[in-house]
Structure 1
Amino acid sequence: MARIGPMTSPKFLLSRRDLMAGLGAAGLATAWPSTGFAQAGRPVLQLEGKAESLQLRPGAPATPVWGLGEPDLKFKRGDIVEVGWKGITGVSPLAKPNWRGVDGAPDVEPLPAGLSKVTKLMPLRHAGTFHCDLELLSDGQRPSRSYALVVQESEAVAVDRDEMFLIEDWRIRPDGTGASPGSDPADAMRIHTINGKASFDLSARRHDRVRLRLINGSQRSVIAIKLEGVDVKVMAIDSQPSEPFQARNGALVLAPGGRADVFVDLIAPEGTTAAILLHDGKEARRVGGLVVSGDPPIRPAPLPPAPPLPSNDLPERIELKGATRVDLALGDSQGEWVAPTKFNANAPPAFRAKRGRTVVLALTNRAAIATVFHLHGHHFRLLDKLDDGWKPFWLDTLAIEPGQTQRIAFLAEHAGRYLIESVATDWAAPRLVRWYAVE
């Protein structure tokens, strides 16, 4: 399974090229708090964009950001969530929550609308780890927060701890203000946070099984996460279950917006700490650790190997014969790709597809650096070079090296209008969007 890039242990030496090689090769029973319900029995999620501030550096001024407060984003598979949205006055009408990985929910697509306050339905067809952000709002304006959306499986999953690991990166100036993505960071300092804090440290008992939901909430950066000295079993990629496999040297590479669910069985002696390292292509640094506590083991022996996570019922095979085939060039801001603030809903779509038809996209990166493509509304397979097969996992986000072409295929299962995104892996690069239709 080649989403995992080569990592050198224990020093974890990586270059930017190593990070991208890792991506190119791949393409990479908890009780939740209750949520309010509408009269019809549907969960209700009221969101409002607002100006907030975060203390990102000790002793430094707080940084102004866009945010959503502290919403409860934990649901169950099969929920149809009533999402109420109140936007921010004076900000682009495209400024709505950007739900990464939620398939077949055209009502909540961040496409322009005439109302600043709307209520839409978001069906949660799949269980998994999803990502909500305000990236389309924050480009060129001010930094914004990211949020994890968790949809529980209908079936029980044999884990003792279920923990979020949401990575965000920031560019903070000496006066505390943040450089927004899509702008020149100039003298800004680069800062990473884990779940909004400087580090992530978790203490668990021996023989605990921990599920870590890894989200790269960075705006532009490809990163690698390494857990030293433990076996890391990858269970899901980009919100979709995969056949379980071992992460090479305990390391995973994630594109911006990419997600991975991993299981870690703590079998080391009490008092042992597994360091968690983050590598951004320039250097690695410790951002936390998993500590085996001195409490008695939770059970006499480790759990048996974990079975695959329950299927989300995506098709096992995609029929490529007779597919709708489209060539898409990325990294061309002078073409039909536009910044979100210039998006025109009346512009022709990048492509149209009949519902139930396979779509094959040939994605060519014309930029001078790696570019990340994100498909809304559907998950795709990364095709082999000769279109004679595909990688054995689903994705919704893919990083592509400069000058390279990658082909992806998806079943146009859900009717509606959906965005596609393209952004180069550079903080100052503009985020570009187009849209496609399934009819």
Structure 2
Amino acid sequence: MTTWIFDLSRREVLAGLGATAAGLIAGGATPPVTAQLALQARPATLALRQGQPPTPIWELAAVSHLGNVRLKRGNRCEVVFRNELPVPLAPVWSGLNGPAASDPLRGRAPTAPDATETSIISISSAGTLLADFRLFEDGLKQPARPLPIIAEEANRVPVDRDEVLLIEEWRLRPDGTALVPGRDPQDRTPLYTINGQTSFELSAAANERLRLRFINGSQRTVLAIKLESHEVRVMALDGQPAEPFPARNGVLVLAPGARADAFVDAATSAAFVLHDGKEARSVGSLKVSGRLERAPLLPPQPLPPNDLPDQLDLRGALRFDVALGAADSGWARPANFSTASAPAFRAKTGRTVVLVLQNAAPITTVFHLHGHPFRLLDKLDDGWKPYWLDTLAIEPRQTQRIAFAATSPGRWLLESVLTDWAAPRLVRWYAVE
């Protein structure tokens, strides 16, 4: 996930961009732009109460695309961002690893209200990405929706359908307006949607192979989602291919912001059942038409790799303890964040880094690492799970260890937030030099 650290004034940033342009005019080589994406932060509404007026919200929308945003691995994409909201904002990307959309060593200020800015990003990996401005939630007047973005593999993956399922959580006041996370919900009952619908329906033909890209768009709640009567085979997590494995009992457990690509062979109509740790509820359905007339499909092959390292040098790794959300350890709300604060750690480019993540809180805490995907280490610290992550939910009073290859120079954020609607989002930074 790329987040811009605001070191420079806007004048300095524009001067740097002007110098870059001058270098190009003078004959400096640069790869061509191969895709374009126009984003807009804007007011919107959602029909969250049957027969009642729609609820005002804010959203990040792709005004350049109809339906899902689809880019390709290897694209060099020009992103034009227009801020139609009354507070400064910048889109932040989950799953966009490697060089930042703007040089992370310089930083780039958030876009002012009623302003437009252009940047260039490189889509170095295929996978399910998420663009979001909710890092700035301290200034938001309405709860906001993120934007799923699909970075397609260079070659077509053999599935019949490829669908995004964005799961979101809402807390409504009696008048139908929605609460922003980080404020006291006053025991408001949560309401969940898939793709903005309180009762989502996905249609498929019998024996179609579906690639379902599940995204937990909730900002505070760990969610479990199950498609009844089907095997759900996990193919990727947090935008990175995994060794395919069946979800236990067909259930995917996703931390806020986490993504899971799963293959499902449509067999019969079934419900999507969501569990938020308190109760289970049906949030949609798969409607299957026709009969199973073909032989069962063969097990899927793994997705193409994204050139992440096969091995991490744990014996020579740099090791750092990170106490999540501890008041005296450098964490701050995004509105109060400054790079003048001490970094959580520094690492040389190319080194393996092991982080010991300590959750001393009495409830689950969600950790998000910007800039690098990581491996979840085994308890004995002698191996890792066969997948990559960028987000991890750590249970109360527990410690987890993660490892990553520090391949992307820059200043990057760490995020920590309790799974409590009223809890503040907290950030620190680390440096790869």
Q: Is TM more than 0.5 here?
A: yes
Q: CA deviation at 1:90?
A: 5.2
Tell me how far apart the structure 2 counterparts of residues 105 and 149 of structure 1 sit (CA, whole Å): 18
Aligned pair partner of 2:381 in 380, 384, 387:
387
Cα pair 2:330 2:341 within 8 Å, conserved: no
**Is residue 77 of structure 1 aligned with residue 73 of structure 2?**
yes
Distance 1:103 1:368, change over 3 A: same
Tell me how far apart the structure 1 counterparts of residues 84 and 202 of structure 2 sit (CA, whole Å): 36
Q: CA deviation at 1:81?
A: 1.5
Secondary structure of 2:330's counterpart equals: coil
Instruction: Compute the RMSD of aligned alpha carbons.
Output: 2.1
Q: CA deviation at 1:239?
A: 0.8
Secondary structure of 1:49's counterpart equals: strand
Tell me how far apart the structure 1 counterparts of residues 203 and 37 of structure 2 sit (CA, whole Å): 32
Q: CA deviation at 1:88?
A: 5.5
Distance 1:81 1:135, change over 3 A: same
- Which residue of the partner structure matches residue 279 of structure 1? 275
Q: CA deviation at 1:244?
A: 0.9
Cα pair 2:60 2:146 within 8 Å, conserved: no
Amino acid at match of 1:216: N
- Which residue of the partner structure matches residue 136 of structure 1? 135
**Is residue 178 of structure 1 aligned with residue 175 of structure 2?**
no
Secondary structure of 2:120's counterpart equals: strand
Aligned pairs for 1:287-298 within 5 A? 287-294=283-290
- Which residue of the partner structure matches residue 336 of structure 1? 330
Q: CA deviation at 1:231?
A: 1.2
- Which residue of the partner structure matches residue 30 of structure 1? none
Tell me how far apart the structure 2 counterparts of residues 49 and 156 of structure 1 sit (CA, whole Å): 31
Q: CA deviation at 1:120?
A: 2.1
Tell me how far apart the structure 2 counterparts of residues 111 and 146 of structure 1 sit (CA, whole Å): 22
Tell me how far apart the structure 1 counterparts of residues 373 and 62 of structure 2 sit (CA, whole Å): 28
Cα pair 1:200 1:289 within 8 Å, conserved: yes
**Is residue 96 of structure 1 aligned with residue 95 of structure 2?**
no
- Which residue of the partner structure matches residue 7 of structure 1? none
Tell me how far apart the structure 2 counterparts of residues 278 and 198 of structure 1 sit (CA, whole Å): 12
Amino acid at match of 1:428: A
Q: CA deviation at 1:135?
A: 1.6
**Is residue 121 of structure 1 aligned with residue 120 of structure 2?**
yes
Aligned pair partner of 2:36 in 22, 26, 44:
44
Cα pair 1:106 1:418 within 8 Å, conserved: no
- Which residue of the partner structure matches residue 367 of structure 2? 373
Per-residue CA shift, 1:389-437, capped at 9, x if unaligned? 1111111100111221111110011112211110000100000011112
Aligned pairs for 1:132-211 within 5 A? 132-139=131-138, 141=140, 142-186=142-186, 188-211=188-211
Distance 1:131 1:161, change over 3 A: same
Q: CA deviation at 1:164?
A: 1.0
- Which residue of the partner structure matches residue 24 of structure 2? none
- Which residue of the partner structure matches residue 217 of structure 1? 217
Q: CA deviation at 1:380?
A: 0.4
Q: CA deviation at 1:66?
A: 1.9
Q: CA deviation at 1:335?
A: 3.6
Q: Which runs of 4+ in 1 moved over 6 A?
A: none
Q: CA deviation at 1:52?
A: 2.5
Per-residue CA shift, 1:90-130, capped at 9, x if unaligned? 525xx311211111142357966176343222211111111
Aligned pairs for 1:45-64 within 5 A? 45-64=37-56
Secondary structure of 1:136's counterpart equals: helix
Tell me how far apart the structure 1 counterparts of residues 202 and 85 of structure 2 sit (CA, whole Å): 40
Q: CA deviation at 1:242?
A: 0.9
Per-residue CA shift, 1:75-95, capped at 9, x if unaligned? 001112222233466525xx3
Amino acid at match of 1:52: A
- Which residue of the partner structure matches residue 233 of structure 1? 233
- Which residue of the partner structure matches residue 17 of structure 1? none
Q: CA deviation at 1:381?
A: 0.5
TM-score by length of 1: 0.85
- Which residue of the partner structure matches residue 399 of structure 2? 405
Aligned pairs for 1:234-273 within 5 A? 234-266=234-266, 268=267, 272-273=268-269
TM-score by length of 2: 0.86
Cα pair 1:179 1:188 within 8 Å, conserved: no
Q: CA deviation at 1:63?
A: 2.3
Distance 1:114 1:425, change over 3 A: closer
- Which residue of the partner structure matches residue 28 of structure 2? none
Between the two proteins, the alignment pairs up a number of residues equal to 393
- Which residue of the partner structure matches residue 19 of structure 2? none
Q: CA deviation at 1:145?
A: 0.6
Q: CA deviation at 1:54?
A: 2.3
Secondary structure of 1:106's counterpart equals: coil
Tell me how far apart the structure 1 counterparts of residues 305 and 402 of structure 2 sit (CA, whole Å): 21
Tell me how far apart the structure 1 counterparts of residues 55 and 416 of structure 2 sit (CA, whole Å): 27
Q: CA deviation at 1:248?
A: 1.6
Distance 1:111 1:421, change over 3 A: farther
Q: CA deviation at 1:310?
A: 0.8
Tell me how far apart the structure 2 counterparts of residues 379 and 203 of structure 1 sit (CA, whole Å): 33
Secondary structure of 2:322's counterpart equals: strand
Secondary structure of 2:144's counterpart equals: coil
- Which residue of the partner structure matches residue 4 of structure 1? none
Could you list the runs of 5+ residues in structure 2 that have no partner in the other structure?
1-30
% identical aligned pairs? 56
Tell me how far apart the structure 1 counterparts of residues 173 and 243 of structure 2 sit (CA, whole Å): 44
Q: CA deviation at 1:70?
A: 4.0
Amino acid at match of 1:76: K
Amino acid at match of 1:259: R
Cα pair 1:208 1:302 within 8 Å, conserved: no
Could you list the runs of 5+ residues in structure 1 that have no partner in the other structure?
1-38
Tell me how far apart the structure 1 counterparts of residues 271 and 48 of structure 2 sit (CA, whole Å): 22
Secondary structure of 2:427's counterpart equals: strand
Per-residue CA shift, 1:123-170, capped at 9, x if unaligned? 111111112222212346320012211010112211001111110001
Tell me how far apart the structure 2 counterparts of residues 356 and 262 of structure 1 sit (CA, whole Å): 32
Distance 1:437 1:106, change over 3 A: farther
